[in-house]
């Protein structure tokens, strides 16, 4: 079982490709980044405080539990971002070298 | 007098009806909304390339959703509409909004805050595991993205939304493992007189429950949540509860949708320095308003679920009432007959709301029973035990003091999801009434503000 | 009703009052500490949290060094951990004039044990690669650090209680007066507190009390403008402050061990002392957010999640009022720390306790005597 969300309808949309932790996967045009990710993997990020993996909570931009890192050190709120072709998302906490990426 | 500067925050049911009323009176309000499209959370529109019809998306509320969307479409060139715009602060009679990383200060003569509501949450041990979502989240996944939050879903909490979303999931073909309601059935019977203020809504609700049971999904009332079991790596695995007879029961699942009714988004009212009052029936602090939505601060008005949670239909009425209050205060004409009619409608909604509060009470007593190792603040991963320590060991008996010592409520969500439960934990540990604990002060920004933001150059 | 009585009554339960109460008890002196709200709730609790010495006036460094001794053994002394993190202090500059200022200070303060090292542009960027390209020089002081201001003063207050201090919170004081040999302090609810010695540590409100004793001082209350980012992996060692040519342009930041980065700057807002609320002006927040990425460009990828402010007393000459009254025997002051009191707190408590107990102190504080404003009192109001 490699994904968390399941699609119940609207599945004939055009596919879009993105990269999650180095693996290229497919989502659908019109997906939020969160839905694109969770239809491929089971989590979005790691908690900063060692209590495990997180997969979002409110889906309406209120809880802020779904902020993910891009490969070049940018931050995106997955539930309010629309997925785009070629996005490169990292679900692990980056190393302490993150400020040097900018 | 120059055209008054009127700003509405929010384009849900109350914001849209407010704008409509103001436009009809000859004003041109500005409508600020965080979402890409109008409709709010309840009548959220699906993306353009989705094809499900209104009836499928909104069920019995399809007509209302369509009417609201069409009303707003008709208003588009009569208002200044700023979607994808966050109202992040209020200072010196100016609303500070940010859009595309540009922040601007908008002066106003009248500000109507139609900020809506978010889920009201009571933590349970294990609610931090991946796969636990708010009820609202589970509904948005389905409505806006045609997804279920998992393969096998437990609905846990209380309130009408619990049954509505479970039923929507079943209809959409999702596998619902159980609906677990903390409210005892007796409470609903006792609340009947008040719930009869809106007989059709009541009937709808009863129909939903019957439908869920017909689908073979277990519906349990009067339960006590014990634990969401899972693993930090793989997430939710099952929900453990005690049923109304006190027997432990476990339901396998890979997702939990939980919520205990809704709570208003009051950060902007707080930043506008509106006075709040404690409401005993629902055990929460609400902005003080008159019957039309005037706050304690001149020029600042509240409407819809962002003021107090009365539901979408009442929000449409509240939006109109707040608009009429603005017009009255600007010395413009309003129809007294219409005003009286709307007030009367709102009063019956209010009676129904009290019925709901009685039927589906906020489970304050669970806070006392939370085990020390249960996380209260998801953002900062602070446990009930840590919160109790600052109360009992460090003397923090007030919400903001406990926040300063423990970090509960200090995270990214600004206490939206832990504030109410945290106050109950503090109250119980300190042995004081929850109103004495107070409420977390709102602090800007209303939501995270990118450091790349720049001030608009005039 | 019997009056509460002790050897010393302290008015104002910020870090100065709490620390003095603690050190007086260590010397066996009985003490009453009075606080209008809760211990450490105003300037002591909401400041940036710097425990640096670098950048202080040279005449203040002995006091600052004495305070550092308490910070280094904070847990041992006061019994609690307050997230002290000693990863150095870095000052950075954009211009040759900034470099000159830093070099001059490094020279003047070289005998006080700060271990300052001037860094050229190359050395700076090599050692701290996340810094922005506009920065041309830095000065690094390796032993400095920061702590959690929300925790420090309350921890000292609790330690004082454990040592036997009588601490009264939620006690609004309406009058402080001398009555015979005693000071008589009256609370709004009528309670009376008496002691032959009174210490005023009332922060931004200190001037109101000193003026009643004929010793007004030029002080204004200002609100610092703070914000904090979401937590991100710990990457920034030293507390960093950029030199600026105007207060509004200043920016300084520190990362706590949990990952959040606290950013201050953008100048100050004025405060209404009577309402006791200080606000953050969004324009100042935006100014700080514009300036911070000049120091560290990676800031542009982060968000702030909260802003806050507090009420601090700033003296016209930026020097605190500290020491005995010039007019009233038995009366002492320690307030007006002008936004730089947090680091000094434990040291001020230590010195004031010594001064009150022995009549003298080994740490020089004569620069801070209230007598320097004596001519103000002579002027007609």
**Tokens 């014990």 sit at which residue?**
B226
Residues of chain A contacting B235 with CB distance shorter than 8 Å: 4, 42-43, 52-53, 55
> Strand B284-287 relative to strand B276-279: parallel, antiparallel, unpaired?
antiparallel
The pTM for the full model equals 0.97
Domain B121-260: give its CATH code.
3.50.50.60
Task: Provide the mean pLDDT of chain C.
Answer: 96
Query: Would you say B412 and C254 are in contact if contact means Cβ atoms under 8 Å apart?
Result: no
DSSP string, B94-160: EEEEEETTEEEEEE-SEEEE---EEE-----BTTTSTTEEEHHHHHHHHHHH-EES-SSEEEEEESH
Query: Would you say C139 and C90 are in contact if contact means Cβ atoms under 8 Å apart?
Result: yes
Scanning every residue of chain C, which has its alpha carbon at the shortest distance from the alpha carbon of B397? Answer: C38
Listed by start position, the domains of chain A span 15-93
What's the pLDDT at B2?
78
Q: Does a cis peptide bond (omega within 30 degrees of 0) precede residue B90?
A: no
Give the Cα separation of B29 and C185 in Å (integer).
Answer: 56
Confidence band of C381 (pLDDT split at 50, 70, 90): very low
Residues of chain A contacting C228 with CB distance shorter than 8 Å: none
**Tokens 């540590």 sit at which residue?**
C201
Q: Give SS3 for B448.
A: coil
Listed by start position, the domains of chain B span 6-118+263-356, 121-260, 365-437
- Distance in Å, alpha carbon of C155 to nearest chain B alpha carbon: 8
Q: Give SS3 for C152.
A: helix
Give the Cα separation of B126 and B138 in Å (integer).
Answer: 18
CATH topology of domain B365-437: Arc Repressor Mutant, subunit A (1.10.10)
Give the Cα separation of C46 and C40 in Å (integer).
Answer: 9
Confidence band of C47 (pLDDT split at 50, 70, 90): very high
Same fold, B6-118+263-356 and B365-437: no
What's the pLDDT at C379?
64
Residue in C235, C293, C306 to test binding to A, most A beta-carbons within 10 Å:
C235
DSSP string, B12-38: SHHHHHHHHHHHHTT---EEE-SSSSS
Query: Would you say C140 and C119 are in contact if contact means Cβ atoms under 8 Å apart?
Result: yes
Give the Cα separation of B2 and B361 in Å (integer).
Answer: 48
Query: Would you say A26 and B102 are in contact if contact means Cβ atoms under 8 Å apart?
Result: no
Q: How far is CA C127 from CA C99, C130, C138, C315, in A?
A: 17, 9, 11, 37
Q: Which residues contact C163 (CB under 8 A, 6 or more apart)?
A: C22, C25, C26
Asked if A102 and C234 come within 8 Å (Cβ–Cβ), the reply is no
- At residue B29's C-alpha, the angle toward residues B23 and B30, to 5°, is 145
Residue B92 exposure: Cα atoms within 13 Å on the Cβ side = 9
Q: Stretch A78-92: mean pLDDT, rounded? A: 97
Exposure of C54 by Cβ count < 10 A (0-12 exposed, 13-18 middle, 19+ buried)? buried
Give the Cα separation of A35 and C109 in Å (integer).
Answer: 58
Structure tokens at C145: 């650090």
Q: Tell whether B398 is within 8 A of chain A (Cβ).
A: no
Residues of chain B contacting C290 with CB distance shorter than 8 Å: 454-455
What's the pLDDT at A1?
54
Longest dimension (CA), chain B: 69
Scanning every residue of chain C, which has its alpha carbon at the shortest distance from the alpha carbon of A97? Answer: C235
pLDDT of residue C2 exceeding 70: no
**Tokens 């949708």 sit at which residue?**
B257
Of C154, C285, C300, which has the smallest distance from its Cβ to B452's Cβ?
C300
Asked if C158 and B404 come within 8 Å (Cβ–Cβ), the reply is no
> How many Cβ atoms are within 10 Å of C35's Cβ, its own excluded?
27
Structure tokens at B140: 């948005």
* Distance from the first to the final alpha carbon of chain C: 37
CATH superfamily of B6-118+263-356: FAD/NAD(P)-binding domain (3.50.50.60)
Q: How far is CA C278 from CA B347, B407, C41, C309, C366, in A?
A: 39, 21, 12, 6, 32
Q: Stretch C90-109: mean pLDDT, rounded? A: 98
pLDDT of residue C216 exceeding 90: yes
pLDDT of residue C378 exceeding 80: no
Structure tokens at B284: 């929460």
In which region does residue B296 sit, left (phi positive, over 0), alpha (psi from -120 to 50) or beta (all else)? alpha
Q: Which residues contact C196 (CB under 8 A, 6 or more apart)?
A: C7, C181, C182, C183, C330
CATH topology of domain A15-93: Ubiquitin-like (UB roll) (3.10.20)
Q: Is the ipTM of this complex over 0.95?
A: yes
What's the pLDDT at A27?
98
Q: Which residues of C156-178 are buried (b: 16+ CB within 10 A; e: fewer)?
A: bbbbbbebebbbbeebebeebee
Q: How many CB pairs under 8 A join A and B?
A: 143
DSSP string, C309-345: ---EEEETTS--EEEE-SSSTTEEEEE--TT-HHHHH
Residues lower than pLDDT 50 in chain B: none
CA-wise closest residue to B414 among C148, B454, B422: B422
CA-wise closest residue to B261 among B138, B157, B176, B359: B157
Give the Cα separation of C77 and C160 in Å (integer).
Answer: 10
In DSSP terms, C140 is beta-bridged to C90, C117
Domains of chain C: 4-49+150-218+316-378 (3.50.50.60), 86-145+221-315 (3.30.9.10)
- Phi/psi of residue C161, each to 5°? -60, -45
pLDDT of residue A86 exceeding 80: yes
Query: Would you say C203 and C46 are in contact if contact means Cβ atoms under 8 Å apart?
Result: no
């Amino acid at each position: 079982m490699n994904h968390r969300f399941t699609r119940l309808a609207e599945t004939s949309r055009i596919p879009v490709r993105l990269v999650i932790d180095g693996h290229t996967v497919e989502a659908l045009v019109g997906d939020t980044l969160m839905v694109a990710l969770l239809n491929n993997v089971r989590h979005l990020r790691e908690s900063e405080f060692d209590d495990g993996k997180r997969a979002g909570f409110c889906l309406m931009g209120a809880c802020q539990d779904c902020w993910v890192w891009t490969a070049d050190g940018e931050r995106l709120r997955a539930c309010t971002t629309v997925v785009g072709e070629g996005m490169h998302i990292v679900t692990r906490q980056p190393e302490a070298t993150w400020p040097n990426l900018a | 007098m120059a055209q008054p500067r009127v700003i509405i925050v929010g384009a849900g049911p109350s914001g849209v009806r407010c704008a409509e009323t103001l436009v009809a009176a000859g004003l041109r309000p500005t409508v600020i909304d965080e979402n890409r499209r109008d409709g709010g959370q309840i009548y959220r529109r699906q993306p353009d390339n989705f094809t499900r019809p209104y009836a499928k998306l909104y069920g019995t509320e399809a007509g209302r959703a369509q009417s609201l969307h069409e009303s707003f479409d008709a208003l588009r060139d009569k208002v200044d509409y700023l979607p994808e715009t966050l109202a992040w602060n209020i200072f010196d009679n100016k609303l500070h909004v940010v859009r595309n990383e540009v922040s601007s200060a908008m002066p106003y003569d009248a500000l109507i805050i139609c900020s809506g509501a978010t889920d009201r949450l009571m933590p349970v041990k294990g609610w931090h595991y991946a796969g636990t979502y708010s009820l609202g989240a589970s509904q948005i996944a389905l409505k806006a993205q045609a997804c279920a939050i998992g393969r096998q879903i437990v609905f846990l909490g209380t309130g009408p939304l619990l049954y509505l979303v479970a039923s929507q999931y079943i209809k959409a073909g999702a596998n619902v493992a159980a609906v677990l309601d903390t409210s005892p059935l007796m409470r609903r019977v006792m609340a009947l007189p008040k719930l009869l203020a809106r007989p059709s809504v009541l009937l709808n609700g009863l129909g939903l429950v019957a439908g869920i049971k017909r689908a073979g999904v277990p519906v349990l009332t009067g339960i006590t949540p014990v634990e969401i079991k899972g693993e930090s790596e793989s997430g939710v695995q099952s929900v453990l509860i005690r049923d109304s007879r006190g027997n432990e029961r476990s339901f396998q699942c890979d997702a939990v949708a939980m919520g205990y009714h809704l709570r208003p988004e009051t950060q902007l009212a707080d930043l506008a320095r509106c006075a709040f009052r404690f409401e005993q029936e629902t055990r929460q602090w609400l902005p003080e308003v008159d019957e039309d939505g005037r706050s304690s601060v001149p020029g600042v008005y509240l409407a819809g679920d962002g003021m107090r949670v009365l539901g979408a239909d009442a929000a449409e009425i509240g939006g109109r009432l707040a608009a009429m209050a603005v017009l009255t205060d600007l010395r413009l004409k309003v129809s007294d007959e219409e005003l009286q009619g709307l007030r009367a409608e709102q009063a019956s909604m209010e009676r129904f709301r009290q019925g709901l509060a009685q039927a589906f009470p906020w489970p304050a007593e669970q806070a006392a029973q939370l085990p020390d190792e249960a996380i209260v603040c998801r953002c900062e991963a602070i446990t009930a035990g840590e919160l109790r320590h600052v109360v009992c060991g460090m003397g923090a008996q007030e919400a903001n003091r406990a926040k300063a010592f423990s970090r509960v409520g200090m995270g990214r969500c600004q206490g939206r999801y832990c504030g109410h439960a945290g106050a109950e934990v503090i109250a119980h540990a300190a042995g004081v009434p929850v109103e004495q604990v107070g409420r977390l002060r709102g602090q800007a920004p209303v939501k995270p503000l990118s450091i790349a933001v720049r001030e608009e150059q005039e | 009703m019997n009056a509460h009585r002790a050897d010393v009554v302290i008015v104002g339960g910020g870090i100065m009052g709490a620390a003095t109460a603690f050190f007086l008890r260590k010397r066996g002196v009985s003490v009453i500490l009075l606080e209008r709200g809760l211990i450490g709730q105003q300037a002591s609790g909401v400041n940036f949290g710097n425990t640096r010495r670098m950048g202080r006036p040279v005449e203040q460094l002995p006091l600052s060094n004495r305070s550092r001794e308490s910070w280094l053994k904070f847990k041992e002394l006061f019994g609690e951990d307050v997230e002290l993190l000693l990863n150095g202090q870095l000052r950075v500059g954009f211009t040759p004039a900034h470099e000159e200022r830093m070099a001059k200070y490094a020279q003047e303060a070289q005998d006080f044990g700060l271990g300052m090292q001037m860094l050229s542009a190359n050395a700076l960027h090599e050692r701290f690669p996340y810094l922005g390209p506009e920065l041309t020089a830095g000065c690094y002081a390796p032993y400095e650090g920061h702590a959690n201001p929300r925790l420090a003063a309350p921890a000292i207050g609790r330690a004082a209680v454990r040592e036997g201090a009588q601490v009264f919170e939620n006690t609004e004081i309406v009058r402080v007066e001398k009555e015979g040999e005693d000071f008589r302090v009256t609370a709004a609810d009528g309670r009376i507190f008496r002691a032959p010695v009174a210490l005023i540590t009332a922060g931004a409100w200190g001037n109101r009390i000193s003026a009643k004793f004929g010793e007004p001082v030029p002080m204004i209350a200002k609100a610092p403008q703070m914000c904090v980012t979401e937590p991100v992996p710990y990457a920034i060692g030293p507390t960093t402050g950029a030199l600026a040519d105007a207060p509004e342009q200043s920016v300084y930041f520190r990362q706590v061990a949990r990952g959040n980065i606290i950013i201050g700057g953008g100048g100050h807002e004025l405060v209404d002392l009577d309402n006791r609320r200080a606000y953050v002006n969004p324009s100042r927040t935006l100014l700080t957010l514009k300036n911070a990425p000049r120091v560290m460009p990676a800031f542009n990828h982060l968000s702030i999640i909260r802003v806050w402010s507090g009420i601090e007393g700033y003296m016209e000459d930026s020097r605190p009022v500290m020491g005995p009254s010039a007019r009233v025997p038995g009366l002492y002051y320690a307030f007006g720390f002008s936004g730089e009191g947090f680091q000094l707190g434990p040291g001020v408590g230590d010195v004031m306790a010594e001064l009150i107990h022995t009549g003298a102190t080994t740490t020089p504080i004569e620069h801070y005597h209230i007598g320097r404003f004596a001519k103000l009192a002579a002027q007609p109001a």
